[in-house]
Structure 1
Amino acid sequence: MNNWTWDRLRVFDALARTGSVAAAARSLCMTGPAVSQHLRRLEVEVGAALVERAGRGLRLTGAGHVLAGHARTVARAVEHAERDLAGHTGELHGTVRVGAISSAIRGFLLRRVREFTDRYPRVRVSLCDGETVDHLRALHEDGLDVVVAESWHDLPSTISRGADVTRLRTERVRLVLPDGHRLANRDTVRFSELAEEVWTCCPPGSDAHSTLAQLVRRAGAELRVGFPVADHATQLEVVANGLAVACIPEPSLPREPSGVRIVETDPAPLRSIELVTQSKTLPLHVHEFVTSLTGR
């Protein structure tokens, strides 16, 4: 028992809440093997099996149910202790767990995180990228404190009504064509003119994919994705090599395009970047981080 660590209990708490190694890893911004290693070590230290296989997920054993309740209690106690200590000493402590889309991380988050940690050196910011739908699930399961999400204006929001949402910015999305494309000299292209094109875009299940599919379908065609790629920089490389076309938000576009032509579309998609937290009183260090991003 003396060998138990907060990290292992924190991982087990996530496993108990999410029901799988993969989901726990997403909520903690860890790898699946790291989660499994924590679990194996904890079972050795406890001297009992804590989980058993149940299809693709995990089911708690009797011992697992007992420990899960205590792990949740410990997790909440640590959160309260960090908040109270910050208020008592006047210095913020703790970890802010942030999930964000990669374009927001590159575009502005890394700079803002550096500024925040320079100001509060005893606060650690854990930042992991991924799809908004996965991050919102982790936020609901208490695996993340803050989500920097994308919200496409042509798609109903997937953000829960029980969350606090602040819009950080709105971005235009533009069409990227290979140099020499039949439409490359146009100022504006209608989606109906792209019916036969092969696309590169974020994978199925993402909001970006769903929005693009809807825009193409409204133009009387079906989206043909030959290169499902989550990263905008890689999408640009696919287009530059003449393999596909893409719709990419302006902040991710190169200042000096090479091998591609950037044009407007009709209609013009819009994407908002939003900061999402649970609707509850946040620990002081998390509240201060949110304030640093939103100014609220």
Structure 2
Amino acid sequence: MPNDGVEHSLWDSLLYAILNGISVSLGINRRDIDGVFLMFYNSGYAKVNNHFVIKNLPKHNSNAADNPILSIIQNLISRGNPTITTPFLREKLQIERSYLHQLDEVRIIQDMPADWSISIRGDDVNQSYPALEFYKDLRGIFKQKGFLTDLFIAECLITNIIPESNFEKQQVDFYSPILKLVIEVDGTGHETRQQKKLDQARDNIFKKHGIDVIRISTTKIQMKDYEELTLKLREIYFKHAEKIKLFEKYIESPSKYQLHYQLTEIYRFQMVIIELIKSNTLQLIDNQWDFA
């Protein structure tokens, strides 16, 4: 249920702060992947795509993490989806308590293309990067819907897509939560009987969870042979057209949804502050916090 949170709380003073480096995630939980502590959330103050992840977060200090006041504040902020902001924030933003009923549902997307060039792996010895080449081509394949390219996560862990799967530390080349689509780039190594069996097992678990899988060979990427792929993508697009329209609304009139954007910034920054306090990186007794 929506709630009013804690009036005049410390987090409200961060009203106009801007948080960078937030990325789409797939759920709400804590994970320690290869030594990097991540926090996943899916709440917020507006009808937007609230899912996000805090990366490179210091591990929680046990004493601070168990602070009941922090836990209560975090629960008050996050219990609704979305949660109604505090009176303090509503006053600063000049909105009424009923603002949620007046806001359209929309999906925010950045105006700059996502850059996965560092994340997408390839063959450094032979200087061959077919997956990266494909990702760069994907925007042109989508044509007027090129923004859909930015809704893909590169090198996505299968356990981030299907937590209960048995494919620990295995990744897919590209995954779009919005399109519920996995795209795999298959080189010659995928032609062996053993690899085909593994690929089929992975494909089956995705299909069981309603996720489409498209496989494209490196040969087709080199030849720019995307005709078959384009037909499959068109079919998948129409399956999820209603969800995609929520992104198109924002792209067509971003200025119309500045309140959505502000509310999203505020919520995310508040959650970062809470997590930094829990990790003892910031302390409530400090006279000043340095975010440099």
- What's the TM-score bracket when you normalise by the shorter of the two chains? 0.3 to 0.5
Give the structure-1-normalised TM-score: 0.32
Give the structure-2-normalised TM-score: 0.33
Q: Which has the higher strand share?
A: 1
